[in-house]
Structure 1
Amino acid sequence: MLDQEGDAAADYLEELLDIVDLDGDIDIDVENGRASVAVVAEGADLAGLQRLVGRDGEVLEALQELSRLAAQARTGERSRLLLDIAGWRGQRRSTAARIAAEAVERARATGEAVELEPMPAYQRKAVHDAVADAGLRSESDGVEPNRFVVVLPD
């Protein structure tokens, strides 16, 4: 089923790239029990793909939802597909891991909870995972779109 989701999203994205006259390769994978599709390119083509990311990933989020709908239309099942374009989400995950490490260090040093800035769900997940790997606990607080992570001391 996850392969079908990825294939449906890839077909949708290939058509989109043709319409907007952008070049990019599409990689399909399965990560953490969900279909994952990445649109990648190099050089001048990479710069063109940046338009599909948009400011703060807003266009990317919209394209992810459209790709999920394309997958759902083909499979008949709700899709949790994750879309990355031009490595944007990968860079955000790296940033989230760094932020988590700094928050863990502060929580351990001060013995107090550390509240992070609001971030999207996929970044919060990356922070929660990094905090757990460091041996501490974390929780999300607040209401979307201002939901944030709190790193709890030992």
Structure 2
Amino acid sequence: MTFKEFSGKNVEEAIRAAMKEFGADLGDLDIEILSQGSRGILGVGTDEARILAAPKSAVAEAASVRADSPPEPIAEMPQETVEQTDAEALTPVETDDGGLTPVMADEPAAPSASRSRSRGRGREATGASTRSSREGRPPRERRPAEPRNGDTRPEPRPFVPAKPMEELSESERATLDEAKSVLEELLRLMELPGTVEVAMGTEAAKLNVVGDDLGVLIGRRGEKLASLQHIVNLIVARREGQLNRIMVDVENYRGRREDQLRDVADRAAQRVAQSGKIIQLKAMPAMERRIVHLALSEHEAVRTQSVGVEPNRRVVILPANKVG
């Protein structure tokens, strides 16, 4: 069974239509939001919300069919951050029956339903010829996987921990020094005036670039900052022969963003606890969703879920006693 499109005045109405059509509860459906819809101006130009939905059992069956085919390579994307105001970050979900998209694991990111549908159409067109060609082939030998302890690839280490410099090990200090030199060289090549400082964040040591007019290093939604961090880590790994994780920041952007997210999460939790309604935050990357989840992990009145498909995956905050 393929995904089917549903529409309604809002997302919740479209989801209820999908639940009625399939005779399934919310947790038994896989849902992708195509459009949130809009009310228009004075009732003119109203657009309905649109979603794609399918029973999870049908999706699982399709996944089992695909299991025999080698997965398509997916390019690794850098972590990124989302610039948004507090007002934009708080988006109440107008629903009384807990109408949410189903919960899915944060990592790894799930492929979009549109990609699944496009693959399905391609297989329908070429399925007969593919099956006939496979029948004439001898079975391919499968070598058993080697034990993990025999893998010679270096394992990535966690971020250099946040603690006084004198308490860092010799190798940790050497890694920070090497990364600092690499970052300074990159700034010189880009002809950007800036000073690289070693700072301690809440969870990890980081290299913080300080200077004037450095917004070009952050970029829209933090994309350039994420790329800069990836390049620094890659160069250091090549030089030291080991994968390292060095956090790079510019004008304490990451620290300020974390404080903003925690504040947004706290205020949203208060609204949920007082009103009993669900609040849905704007889409954000995995690193930022993790900050929100951790900020509210010990809150007694609310709980959090991640819903949707990358890059539109988001955090939903709902009453602790509400079944999603």
- Per the normalisation by structure 2, the TM-score is 0.41
Matched, 1:10 2:175: no
Task: Give the gaps of 5 or more residues in structure 1.
Answer: none
Aligned to 2:243: 78
What is the CA–CA distance in structure 1 between the aligned matches of 2:261 and 2:253, rounded to whole Å? 12
Instruction: Provide Cα deviations, 1:15-73, integer angstroms capped at 9, x if missing partner.
Output: 011112222222224556644221112xxxx21x1111112212111101101212322
Given the superposition, is the C-alpha separation of residues 128 and 23 from structure 1 closer, same or farther in structure 2, using an over 3 Å criterion? same
Instruction: From the superposition, tell whether residues 30 and 22 of structure 1 become closer, same or farther in structure 2 (CA, over 3 Å).
Output: same
Query: Is contact 2:201–2:255 with CA below 8 Å preserved after alignment?
Result: no
- Aligned ranges for residues 1-154 of structure 1 at < 5 Å? 1-29=171-199, 31=201, 34-41=204-211, 46-47=212-213, 49-135=214-300, 136-154=302-320
Q: Residues 22 and 119 of structure 1: is their aligned pair in 2 closer, same or farther, counting only changes over 3 Å?
A: same
Question: Structure 1: which amino acid aligns with 2:249?
Answer: D
8 Å contact kept, 2:261–2:288? yes
Aligned residues: CA RMSD: 2.3
Amino acid in structure 1 at the alignment position of 2:191: D
Number of aligned pairs?
Answer: 149
Aligned partner of residue 271 in structure 2, secondary structure? helix
TM-score normalised over the length of structure 1: 0.80
* Structure 2 gap segments, 5+ residues each: 1-170
SS at match of 1:132: coil
Whether the 8 Å contact between 1:97 and 1:130 is mirrored in structure 2 is yes
Identify, as 1 or 2, the structure richer in helix: 1
